[in-house]
Amino acid sequence: MMLEIPGFLTPEQAEQFRDALLRQEWHDGRNTAGHMAARAKNNRQLAADDPVAQQLSDFILGALGNNPLFLSSALPLKVVPPMFNRYEGGGTYGDHVDGAIRSVPGTPHRVRTDISCTLFLSEPDSYHGGELVVSDTYGRHAVKLKAGDMVLYPGTSLHHVTPVTRGVRLAAFFWVQSLVRDDTQRTMLFELDTAIQQLSADAPDNPAVLKLSGVYHNLLRQWSDT
């Protein structure tokens, strides 16, 4: 499932992120890429121990826990702390699939990358190119969202970022290990949860609400990894 979450950050918050990020020291993004990915990667990133990066990352983590759409769609178990990248001057990232396991910097913890997430921080009209292009069984999808909007997509997807030929593209990126490993099962649970919420709002006394909620939780119990 590929899902856009609009307004994850307010325009004011996104602007504050940009102002803080543009003042930091950026490093070659290939320093954090594996052997194959490094050949396709041409961007810059903030170091994981950069104090500003850590502060903004913590803010995103807190916001994730308060976003109902993220919680319902991702069913998060573990989240790799968000990192930040920068594309400009033709910077790009060719076709690749994200590594299956990510280590959490400074800890012994590892996370299975069920879901990849990109939080756009630059306004789309401030740079040329920079589309996130995701390929799946339904074709290729180009994504270039407003600052503060976020997109989630399966970590198994082949994807790339097109060259940024003008301006600067700033984004946060991170991965989620879900309670439910299988993307098809997660999608069904999300659609069922959405339908239950709609039915509950339209007819809160309908006995079907209780029955469907029971089905949802029993499926989650059956499919959950934990």
Which residues on neighbouring strands pair with residue 143, listed in sequence order?
132
Known binding residue 98? Answer is yes
- Orientation angle between helical segments 11-22 and 51-64, nearest 10 degrees: 160
Known binding residue 159? Answer is yes
DSSP readout, 95-161? Answer: EE---SEEEPTTSS-EEE-SEEEEEE-S-GGGSB---EEEEETTEEEEE-PPTT-EEEEETTSEEEE
Q: What is the pLDDT of residue 39?
A: 80
Known binding residue 217? Answer is no
Q: What is the pLDDT of residue 192?
A: 98
Q: What is the pLDDT of residue 29?
A: 86
Biggest alpha carbon distance in the chain?
58
DSSP-derived pairing of the beta strands 92-96 and 41-42:
antiparallel
Global pTM reads 0.95
Q: What is the pLDDT of residue 68?
A: 97
Split the chain (226 residues) into runs of 10 and give each run's mean pLDDT: 97 98 93 73 95 98 98 98 98 96 92 98 98 91 98 97 98 98 97 98 96 98 92
Nearest alpha-carbon partner for 8 in 118, 84, 98, 83: 118
Q: What is the pLDDT of residue 169?
A: 98
**Non-local CB neighbours of 218 within 8 Å, separated by 6+ positions:** none
Q: What is the pLDDT of residue 34?
A: 65
Q: What is the pLDDT of residue 137?
A: 79
Known binding residue 169? Answer is yes
Which residues on neighbouring strands pair with residue 160, listed in sequence order?
133
Question: How far apart (Å, rounded) are the C-alpha atoms in residues 122 and 134?
Answer: 19
